[in-house]
Each structure stands twice: as structure tokens, then as C-alpha cells.
Chains A and B, each alone.
Chain A
Amino acid sequence: MKHEFGKWPESCWQSDIIDWKKAAKITAGLDIGTTSCQAAVMCDGELFAYANIRTGADFKLAAADVLTKALGSSGMTAKDISCVTATGFGGGNVAGAAQRLDEIQCHGKGARYLFGKEVRTVIDLGGQTVKTIRLFGWDRVADFKTSDKCATGFGRNIEVMSDIFLVPITEIGAKSLDVEKDPEPSSTTCYNFAQSEAYGLMRPGYREQDYNDNEILASYLFTVAWRALSTIGKIASLDVGDVKLEEGVGFTGGLAKNPGITKRLERELGFTAMEPKYDPMLAGAIGAALLAS
């Protein structure tokens, strides 16, 4: 049997408290990313159902699939949804979407739902990009910065690292923290080069003092965290009222579930991130659903 350590668990959920038939307005948001897709269905502004799956090679298929999975056996069909909004890198591939919105607005809006109105800084650690969004207290984006076009150093690369080290992706963060001290960061976040470097570090005698696997992972995840840090630094000084950067920070995206990244970011920036109400990967989809009109 082939082990695919980089595969993270897909999920779906429907509320057993909300009766969708009584809802005055049902909207859906689909966040079709390069690595993962999410669908969120909102009934009168409250989360009724969601699904979170891997995108695969076909955006269109993934978009149809994720909504079907979100609706599950709830009895709701696509026809019951008054408005579907798409976002994400593959957002143009959603059949039946009434509108397409940019990821920044959607993640900002979704983060306010996940973390509450106190959130002022959203750090979206995605499969291909990292986006840092600063929000005004009144539901509006104050500024944002994104990483450059190259995907180096984000979610997709952690999947690759999991496969190299034969460590399930859900455990990779904890293992990277199981070191006495963070070793030197790897010299690159590019996963092609980082793979070569990792293979080198795994070989006895490559360094004067050999790294164990956890230390190599720590070295790489430390570098990834640093890369995310650069986008945060660009807008850290932005004035959004009386709220400082370290207050009201929320992580979204797949890497928000990787403590190897989040704990290092918290340590470097000197804050403790807010806890989301639901899966932090849902921020974009929830935001899209809330912005659907």
C-alpha cells in the first residue's frame, strides 16, 4: 500500500441545530485554491455546512465536488441557494457562481466570522501564497500584502516535505517543535532546492554535527515562517486605530493548523494568535458566502 504522507484529511460538516428550510436567505461561498477547495453554506449569516477537499488537477470538478460534499445528506440542493460566490485562484471555474470576489476581501470577512470582531490582522497561510491583511475595526480592509508569484515555502511544499520524511503532514509541525533549539534555517524556501538540501542534511557526515529528522524539519519550517514574516513586516506599521499588530491576530489557511509555523510566528512577533470557531481553512469560503448578494 502506498503511503501518501503529504495528504491531509478532507472534511465536511452540516449543522444539526440550524433548520435550513426556515432560513430567509441561503448563500454559498466556494474558495477554489491551488491546493485545497472549501465550500461554506450560510443560512441567514450563520454557518450551516462546509466541506474541505483537495483540489487535484481539475478546478471545475473540484468546485462541483466540494459543494456536493458540503450539502451532504442535508436535503438542500444547489437550487435552494440564492447566491453562490466564488473566490480563490481557480474561482473562475465555478459553474453557476453569480459573482467572483478577490481573496483578500473574502478572507478578511471570513476571518471576522471565525475570530470575532476583535481581529485586526489576518495571516492567511495558504497552499501557494501567504497573504497578510489588516482590517479596520469596522469591517473593511485597511491594507494587504501578498507573497510574490512563486509558491516557494508554503502549504504545497510542506506536503512535499512530509513525503520526503515519511511523516504524516498533521504531525510534521509538532515534530519540528520537538527539538532542543531551532537549528539554522535552511538556505532556501524553494522546494526544489529545499528537497536537495534536505536530502543532503539527511546524509551522515553532511554537516560537522548531523541533524536528526526533527531538526531538519525545524530548519525548513523556520525558514517558511520567516518568509511569511516578510509580508507581515511590510504592513506592520500601518495605523488601524488603537490596535497594535500583536493584538487581534488570526491565522487562516492550511498552514494555520501547523504549529511548526504558527508557534514560530507567534514567538518571533511576540503574540498569541486568536482561536478560530471553525476550521481556519474555511475563512475564504465563509467570507465569500457572507459577501454574496
Chain B
Amino acid sequence: MQNFSQLFENRHEYAKEWKKRTGGKVLGFFDTYFPEELAYAAGILPVRIMAKHYADDTTDRLMYGNCYVTRDMFNQFNLGYYDYVDGLVSIESCQWWYNAFDTTMQMFPNLWSYYLFTPDYPDANRSKDVMRSELALMKGKLEEWTGKAISDADLDNAIEVYNTNRRLLRRIYELRRFNNPVILGSEAMEIMLACQVMDKAEANKMLEELIPKLEDREPYEDRVRFILIGSETYDAELEKLIEGLGGNVVIDELDNGSAYIWNEVIPMKDRLMAIGLRYMSKPHSALKDNVWRRRPEHIFELSEDFQVDAAIIAKQIYCHPHGTDMYAVWKLLQERKIPYHTFERDTTLPYEETRMGIEALINMVKPGMTRLNGWSS
């Protein structure tokens, strides 16, 4: 466990060391819809760019109005933390992310860059074909950049490595389903985050060693069980705060949480179609949950499966996809009588207000485990 947490803390050093060791290129990406398998098949290390809260005296002028997550991503490039990244990919995603990509490329024109269109309506009839054709274009560009042809065998290997990673991480999630889980939400989130900046084959080895040890662990005491919903987070501080107050995040619906691993690529002869289908059928992000509105129901299913007592919705300030999405989620939670608390956060936590809201929610639902007692009946 500690290995993952340390690795995540030292992720820049890890990537630099990986480059030195393999001679490969590092490709930064922002969004969960980026098909990492393609880059991995080309011998590239895909690294998720994650926000921190570093001192920032530039982005306010260059990216005014953006959310702090996207501003800090550019800020970190500016501060030199991502000086080892050779290229940057942007996906058809929220406008803030595109702005972060665009601004970074303007300031760092020597970076290799690619904009991948991913359909905004993943459930639409033609989305899978559009996605496949976009993947074919990107594959060609990656081959051009690396000077190496991506064979079917490379794609098969990448699909297998990524599927294995998803399966192993899913096992970590399953350990949280029990009444007295052997792993806390913060620990699971640190593993998830580390896996998004690592070579997945190396991550898989570490996970295979870790999971049996976790299974033999003494379970934690019973706590109020939460589902965490909302914008992306890049640390486990919120989970730790919840644990400190007597709760535990047993499941999440975050783009860099469960949505990152929830489904696998189903192998097909047409590898690009198989990869495309995986990304089009993954749990939708707030931005792409258009028309059909599948997210609220998915959130409810997760809540039921993991027997949560309440939901916490943490939205990044100025995050418009989640600002829009929240209303549908609230409606469903109210209808299904799942208590919830919503708050806005920056990349860091506003500690006292967050504590107050979560502590109140815990105290509200704790007596007699409310759902059994008919909360708000």
C-alpha cells in the first residue's frame, strides 16, 4: 500500500526513471476518455496530468474563469514539473480542459500534440463508428511520431495489460463491498491514482502482490458507508477527512475512480473497434451523459451494490459539467431516499466547512443505520 502512495508522491521521478530505463516517450493526457491502450501499444507511457495546488501567478491572466484543476495543470507545466513529458493529448471534453491544452501548447510549442475527437453522445447510433475512425487516425499519428508501426500483437498486448489492470483494481473495489471492509476509501484512492501515472504492467505486478495481503488483513470497524460522486480529485484528503469523522467511502463515481476501471475491452478481431466500444460504453462522465442520462441510475446501482448509507457530492468550483449533472443526481437521490450532502471544493479542501457538513451528515444518518429505519419516511 505504502509503495503505491510513495510512488504517487514521487510520480515525476518515476516517469523520468521509466524514460531513462526504456528510452520510450511519455505522453500526458487529461481525460478519462483517452484510449491509453493505443499509446501503450506504441511503446509510450501514458501519464495522467493531475492537479495539485501550487503557487500560481500566471494562469489567472492566461486562463481566467477556468476551474482550478485545469489552471493548475498548465501551471505545473509552467513550473517545470512536467518537463519530462514529450507530448500532450486532449480529448473532446470540457472547454476548460481544452483551454488548458491549448494554453499549454501555445506556451510549449515543441511538445508533440494531438486532439482526439470522442463523440459527445456515446450512446448514439454512429458513435462507435466515429470513435473507431478517430482511433485509426490517432494510431497513424502515433506511428508517425514514434517511427514504429503498431501491430495487432502490440494492440493485443496493450489490451491485455490494461484489462488485467482494470480487473485487479476492480478486486480492490470488491474488497470494499463487505460490511467491515479490509481497505479504506483513502487507501483505495491512493492506489487508483498511482496506477494512472504508472506503466500498467509494473502496476499489475505490484497489485498482484498487494491483493492477497489485503485479503488477509484485519477488517476495519463498522463505519457509515458513503458513495463519493463529483468532479475529479487528485488526492485522498477528502476520503481521509471522512474516515477521521467516522465514515468511509466504500464506492465512488469519479472519472479517475470507478469510472476509470469499471469495464474492460472485449477482444474482437477489429482491435480499434474493440477499444472504441470500451470507451463509448464506459460509465459516462458528466459531460458526455447527454440525452439518455444514464449516470443517475448507474450511481444508484453502485449505491445499492455497495450498501451505502449516504452520498457525498464534491464538485470542483467552476466545473460546469458537474454543475449541470448534479441536478439529475440530486433528483434521483431524493426520490430513492438516499441522504446526501453537496459541497464545492477547490483542488484543496475548504477544511472546516467540509468537516461541518460531513460530520452533520454522519450524525444524521448514524443512529440505527437510517436506511433500515426508513429515513425521511
Partner-B contacts on A (CB < 8 A): 89, 101-105, 129, 140-144, 146, 148-149, 237-240
Contact = CB atoms under 8 A, between A and B. Distances in A.
Given A143-B339, A239-B376, A102 B360 contact: yes
B376 A240 contact: yes
Interface string B350-374: 1011011101100110010000000
A129 B353 CA distance: 9
B364 A104 contact: yes
Interface residues of B, number: 18
Contact of A149 (B334, B343, B359, B375): B343
Interface of B: 334, 339, 343-344, 350, 352-353, 355-357, 359-360, 363-364, 367, 375-377
Contact of A102 (B343, B350, B359): B359
A240 B374 CA distance: 12
Given A149-B350, A240-B376, A140 B360 contact: no
Contact of A104 (B344, B352, B356): B356
A149 B344 contact: yes
Contacts of B334: 237
Contacts, number: 47
A143 B356 contact: no
Nearest to B355: A102
Given A140-B367, A148-B344, A240-B376, A103 B353 contact: no
12 contacts: A102-B355, A103-B356, A104-B364, A129-B353, A141-B363, A141-B364, A142-B376, A143-B339, A143-B364, A143-B376, A146-B356, A148-B343
B34 to A, nearest CB: 31
Contacts of B339: 143
Contacts of B356: 89, 102-104, 146
Contact of B353 (A141, A146, A237, A238): A146
A146 B376 contact: no
Contact of A141 (B350, B355, B360): B360
Contact of B360 (A89, A103, A148): A103
Nearest to B365: A141
A149 B376 CA distance: 27
Among A101, A149, A238, the most chain B Cβ lie within 10 Å of the Cβ of A149
A35 to B, nearest CB: 14
The CB with the most chain B CB atoms within 10 A, among A89, A105, A146, is that of: A146
Q: 7 shortest A-B CB distances, which residue pairs?
A: A104-B360, A102-B359, A102-B360, A149-B350, A141-B364, A149-B353, A105-B363
A240 B352 CA distance: 29
A146 B367 contact: no
Contacts of A103: 356, 360
Nearest to B362: A102
Contact of B357 (A146, A237, A239, A240): A146
B364 A144 contact: yes
Contacts of B367: 140
A102 B367 CA distance: 15
Nearest to B359: A102
Nearest to B373: A140
